[in-house]
Amino acid sequence: MTQMQSRFSTTCQAQERIVPESSLGELRDSADLTGKPKDLAGRLDDEGYLFIRNGIDPAVTASARHNVFLQLANVDEVEDPDGDTRATGRSNRLKLRPDKGAFWKSVSEQPAMRAVTHGRQLTALLSDIFGEAARPFDFVFLRPGINGRFTNIHCDKPFFSRTTDRVLTCWIALGPVPVERGPLFIVEGSHQWPDVRQSVDGYDVARDKDRMNSVTQHPADLATERNTRLLTADFAPGDLIIFGMYLLHGAFDNHATDNRLRLSCDVRFQPEADPVDPRYFGDDPGGTTGGGYGELNGAKPLTADWHQR
Ligand X SMILES: O=C(O)CCC(=O)C(=O)O
Alpha carbon 79 to its chain's center: 23
Single residue of 253, 266, 287, 296 touching ligand X by CB under 6 A: 266
Sheet with 249-251: list strands edge to edge: 24-26, 230-232, 184-187, 249-251, 151-154
Taking the complex as a whole, the smallest distance from the CB of residue 183 to ligand X amounts, in Å, to 8
Cβ distance to ligand X smaller for residue 33 or 167? 167
Q: Is 143 in the site for ligand X (CB under 6 A)?
A: yes
Query: What's the distance, Cα to Cα, between the start and end of the chain in Å?
Result: 46
Q: What single-letter DSSP state applies at residue 136? A: E
Q: Is 264 in the site for ligand X (CB under 6 A)?
A: yes
* Cα dist from 60 to 23, 31, 141, 298, whole Å: 34, 18, 17, 21
Taking the complex as a whole, the smallest distance from the CB of residue 267 to ligand X amounts, in Å, to 9
Size of interface with ligand X, in residues (CB under 6 A): 10
* Cα dist from 211 to 158, 160, 207, 267, 309, whole Å: 10, 16, 9, 24, 22
Q: Is 171 in the site for ligand X (CB under 6 A)?
A: yes
Taking the complex as a whole, the smallest distance from the CB of residue 243 to ligand X amounts, in Å, to 8
Task: Report the alpha-carbon distance of residue 162 to residue 294 in Å, rounded.
Answer: 21
Q: Is 151 in the site for ligand X (CB under 6 A)?
A: yes
Single residue of 187, 251, 261, 299 touching ligand X by CB under 6 A: 251
Cβ distance to ligand X smaller for residue 24 or 242? 242
Residue type (1 letter), 94: L
What is the b/e burial string over 239-262, where b = at least 16 CB atoms within 10 angstroms of the residue's CB? bbbbbbbbbbbbbbbbbbeebbbb
Cβ distance to ligand X smaller for residue 251 or 261? 251
Q: Is 169 in the site for ligand X (CB under 6 A)?
A: yes
Q: Is 288 in the site for ligand X (CB under 6 A)?
A: no
Cβ distance to ligand X smaller for residue 97 or 302? 302
Q: Is 254 in the site for ligand X (CB under 6 A)?
A: no
Alpha carbon 172 to its chain's center: 7
Residues 6+ apart with CB under 8 A from 192: 48
Q: Is 187 in the site for ligand X (CB under 6 A)?
A: no
Taking the complex as a whole, the smallest distance from the CB of residue 98 to ligand X amounts, in Å, to 26
Residues at the interface with ligand X (CB under 6 A): 143, 151, 156, 169, 171, 184, 249, 251, 264, 266
